[in-house]
Amino acid sequence: MSNPVTQFQILSKDPEATARFYGQLFGWTIDANNALGYRRIDTGAKDGLQGGIWPAPPEAPNFVQLFIQVDDCAAHVAKAGALGAKVIVPPSRLPDGDELAILLDPNGLSFGVFKPH
């Protein structure tokens, strides 16, 4: 199975302001009507990635993560660990059935692996 980048995630200290800015700039629609209250971004385009906005902790900067689709989160987390990555959030099943994990690559860049429901 190939592993495409399927989502981007903006981590923002002010998620509402971020949603407002990009919504006004690009006409993106933001929908938080889901069990995590996750601000899902719909760019309205067929091309390109869709994404979302998550709150950044106060001690962290604003940043962007990429999520890579996998067929087995646990296996890819284990493989990433063997390659020198660190696990930030272990494989976790989200309320809507999707599964994700957050890792730091060996250079300290965070990314997510994601298995859709």
d(CA 1, CA 75): 13
Pairing status of strand 110-115 against strand 63-69: parallel
Q: CB nearer to other proteins: give 32 or 66.
A: 32
The DSSP element (H or E) to which 26 belongs, if any, is: helix 15-26
Q: CB nearer to other proteins: give 51 or 91.
A: 91
Chain residues binding other proteins by CB under 8 A are: 15, 32, 35-38, 54-55, 57, 59, 86-95, 97, 99, 104
Q: CB nearer to other proteins: give 46 or 117.
A: 117
DSSP string, 29-76: EEE--STT--EEEE-S-SSS-EEEEEEPPTTS--EEEEEEE-S-HHHH
Q: How far is the CB of 45 from other proteins (least distance, A)?
A: 27
Q: How far is the CB of 53 from other proteins (least distance, A)?
A: 10
Q: How far is the CB of 60 from other proteins (least distance, A)?
A: 9
Q: CB nearer to other proteins: give 45 or 88.
A: 88
